[in-house]
Every structure is written in C-alpha cells, then in structure tokens.
Amino acid sequence: MRLAGHRGAPAWSPENTLASFAKALELGAQALEFDVHLTADGRLAVIHDATLDRTTNGVGRVADVTLEDIQRLRTDGGERVPSMDQVLDLAAGKAFLHVEVKDPSALRPAVDLLRARRLLDSARISSFWHGALRESKAVEPGLQTGVLFSAAPIRPAALALDAGADALHVCHTYITESLVAEARSHGLQVLGWTAQSAADVGRLFHLGVDEIVTDDPGMARQVLAHLAAPAAPPRPRSPEELRMDAERASIQALMKSRPGDAGTPREPGKKPSW
Ligand code: G3P
Ligand code: CA
C-alpha cells in the first residue's frame, strides 16, 4: 500500500513547496502529489488554487502572471512557488509522482515535460477534468491516469472506463467495500485522498486501497507500520511459571506411566491415589 504526500507534507511545511516535498520524502512518503497550473508564459507552476491570493503574498490569477514573476512571491514560511521542473529535480527517482492537472490547458505541457524528463513510467496524471485524462491517453497511452472525484457515483468504474483511466482517485469518505470490489473487477487501482487522521488511514488500510494520500506522511507511515506488523510474540515466561510448567509436565508424565490411568479423566472430587 503506497503512501503519498498530499501537496508534500502540509502538516509540517507549506503546501506545494520544495520544503514540503522534501519533508514528505524525509517522513517516508513513497509518492508525492502536487497541483499544476499554466502560467501566462506557458510554464507549469506548482500551486493548488487558480489564484495567488491564498498561498502567496501576491494577488491575481496564476494564468495572468509569468512564472518568473510568480517566483518573486513568498508563500507562508518564506518559500517560493516551484515550477514543475523544480519538483521533478527534487523528486525524480525518489518517489512516484502524482501530477494533478488543475486546468485542462496544463495537460499537454505536463505530459510533454514528463516525456522529456523520461518520467512517463514513474508518474500518473490525475484530474477532476476527465476529458483531459482522455486526451492524455490519446497523446501518451502508456502514461497512467486517475479520475478524481468526490462523490458516490452509481457506477464508479464507469468514470475511469469512460476516460480510459487506470485508477479511481476518490475522496476517502466515499470509499466503500463495494467501490473497491468494483474497481478490482475492472482492473482499476484505488487511491484515497486525503487521510488526515489515524482513523482515516486505518479505515483505508482495512478497505484495501492501493494508495493513501495524506497531509502527514509521518503519522500515516506509523499507523501503517503498526497495522501491518505481525502479532506480538508471547511474553517470556517467568522462572516461577517455568518451574510450574515443569511440575505440571512431570505429573502428566507420571499419570501416563500408571497402567489404566492413561488418558482417563479423574472422577470429579476424587483425589489422585498417589
Ligand atoms: O489527490 C487528490 C487531491 O489532491 C484532490 O484535491 O483539492 O487537494 O487538489 P485537492
Ligand atoms: Ca491536488
């Protein structure tokens, strides 16, 4: 069961920053999820919102500003908005990459970049824009895709099949045994987002999803390690218990050696005759 850092490790470091991705890796994330938008000069900025307002000290739409100008801004904690290239520099070869295309216009540049960086085998494009995922399959059939949704559709697998996708990327509260079973029957993977607590991680573990996306990979890794650990071995017996074990064994051996006594339970209330 793979563990992915959602926008890095935002429980520890500002979302979608190089510091956050590095922290997620340090905490044991095997995959990183990040969001991409196209800038005014056709570059890929790693930022969740369509505007700069919430996560930086700038304002306005990402699509109206060049990457260079976006990178003059500061996020919480004094970090900068990274380009997708910079995230790949940090994470390529260290983690699987979940590239969430926030706007369909970012799809082609993101696929082109993964191809140019020879990362098609270690990445998956995900999106709430399922048409963009279908386009991804048309231009790069070997690149995995995942349909994002936050709902309980009548036929969840149909969402993936319509988009030609490989995986269901589902808001974790909507994941059920029947959704997992339906995905399995169509050969689809299931990824649950975004586990915030140990209870969320435990529920997804027991449902048997393929991947858990979390804001806190450290917490999730500890929970998974605990759940996957074999049952604790019995505690060692004390010298007194060992002495009593030996005594019991010798009495049983003695009973077996007495003709007629072997294997017959004694009558209730009757004391042994020796
Ligand atoms: O991994 C899926 C998740 O990132 C989708 O929601 O809003 O956090 O991008 P959001
Ligand atoms: Ca996302």
What is the pLDDT, as a whole number, of residue 268?
43
Ligand nearest to the CA of 146: 1
* Separation of CA 35 and ligand 2 centre (Å): 5
Assess whether 6 carries a catalytic annotation: yes
Residues whose CB is less than 8 angstroms from the CB of residue 130 and which lie 6 or more positions away in sequence, other chains included:
147, 159, 162, 163, 165
CA–CA separation, 69 vs 60, rounded Å? Answer: 12
DSSP label at 231? P
Q: What is the pLDDT of residues 58-72, one digit of tens each?
A: 999 999 999 999 999
Ligand 2 midpoint to CA 101 (Å): 8
pLDDT of residue 202: 98
Q: Is residue 263 scored above 80 in pLDDT?
A: no
- Name the catalytic one among 37, 48, 98, 226: 48
Given 6, 98, 130, 172, the catalytic residue: 6
Catalytic site includes residue 98:
no
Identify which of 15, 32, 33, 36 to mutate to test ligand 1's pocket (most ligand atoms within 8 A of the CB): 33
Ligand nearest, relative to CA of residue 124: 1
Going along the chain from its start, the domains and CATH numbers come out as 2-228 (3.20.20.190)
Give pLDDT, residue 258.
Answer: 63
Query: What does the pLDDT read at residue 261?
Result: 47
The pLDDT tens digits for 165-200 are 999 999 999 999 999 999 999 999 999 999 999 999
What's the pLDDT score for residue 267?
45
The span from the CA of 191 to the CA of 167, in Å, is: 7
